[in-house]
Structure 1
Amino acid sequence: MDLMKDLGVEVYKDAARPAVSEVGAVAGRTVKALLAPIRGFLWCWEKIEDYVEKEVQKRLEKVPEERLKSPDPEIAVPLLQSLTYTAQNETLREMYIALLANSMDKGKENIVHPSYVEIIKKMNRLDALLFEKLSEESGYRMIVNPRISISGTNKFIAGVLPEWYLGWTIEEYDEFSISASLVRLSKFGIIDLMYDRSINGADYQGLWHTPFTEKMLEAQKFLRPYDSLEITATNSVVFVNDYGKQFRQACR
């Protein structure tokens, strides 16, 4: 009986092997196919060197020769490494090139810092575009923390509106993506989100009631016909701080 049992186990194992092997092979081919497009995003050093040389040359062609210097390795080395996998992203690529060129200009070395490389590495395209738009104006900007509240109570419907709302978006991105990007930028240290701090004399009501917030309110009224719902919000501010301003100078 033990012999038959052992034989049965071996037969089972042998029968199972081809199936397992086949599944593994199929999965392997699938993963390989899924990873294949990434190869096109990995630039070899020769391609990076050629691109960087041309683009940095353009940016430095009007800089007097006596102001030129080799970049500090703590900036150049991680920057060039990052370009191997972000060079396909034009927005981030241009920031890297600007930072490298400015690090080679003695007249701008006081605004360049190694930490800026890490900030760009953490960014996606939306973060870069949103930061640039926020940087177009100096000083405080109005921002609100909107809610759909149940009238006459302290209750509100969670998750229906974004945590932070500027009243505008960037093409291809929605209000929730903008809110998440704002939080990331604040964690990078280049903007400040100041909750419940408002700008004196500013009219925040326009941010409380926009086509977007009203649309979300109407949708909730349809889902909750027995509740009396309204838009409420906390008035807040957002601004690009000094670190962020210097980061922008160094990367453009």
Structure 2
Amino acid sequence: MVYVPEIETEQEYAVLLDKVNVFYGSYHAVKDITIPIQKGKITAFIGPSGCGKSTVLRAINRMNDLVEGARVTGDINYHGKNLYDEDVDPVEVRRRIGMVFQKPNPFPKSIYENVAYGPRLLGVNKKALLDEIVERSLRGAALWEEVKNDLRKSGLALSGGQQQRLCIARTIAVEPDIILMDEPASALDPIATQRIEQLMREELSEYTIIIVTHNMQQAQRASDYVAFFNIRKNEDTPGIENRWGELAEFGETDRVFNNPAAEETAEYIAGRFG
């Protein structure tokens, strides 16, 4: 039986996933995902490897469009519009719904040009305005004080944690509504991880954030809501086709961690599988 969270019809969500399915060719990777994402809150996607949480995350800003054979059905409603309607520009979707990836991926450019890149593409060319955007974005990523005297330095010369914050600055420079984070701290040391979590809670508190994480402590510390995905299997079907991801539980973080409604959620949080 597919789990469906309660949807408040009068509520205006940051984005509402409604019976979303993702296919890779003939493979049905995730089935009937419905998740209401609250505005200005942090939602964590958790679950074992292969359960589809990153697949669903990438569907939200149409990154799966870049995968040959990928197909998405259902609705992802954003400001009253299904993001997969034919008249929706996926490039504009990715501007409004930015993404920070698992491994820091700064461009081989200066710190300044990394942050200015997006605004330049949008037609911002005046140096004074670019200077303002770069400083504001670096401050928003809690990086300004560390790099303000080295803006011409290559972004690749920064530490791993600084590179990830530079990528966050690059994301917020184009003023998105929503920030997607796909395990943004998995390649970082504990101190850099703590800084990313603090950044999410403080400097980025005005944004709606959706984060995929394998770290249960991180999900509990950093998020307001949790969506737990699990793997379903059909033993009668051979090979990879016999498994897919489904949403098993969704709710406020404190409730899910302290009083999970599903036994499988409790077992995953307790580390019995995954």
For normalisation by structure 1, the TM-score amounts to 0.25
Q: Which has the larger radius of gyration?
A: 1
Which structure features the higher share of strand residues?
Answer: 2
Which structure features the higher share of helix residues?
Answer: 1
Higher relative contact order (CA 8 A, sep 6+): 2
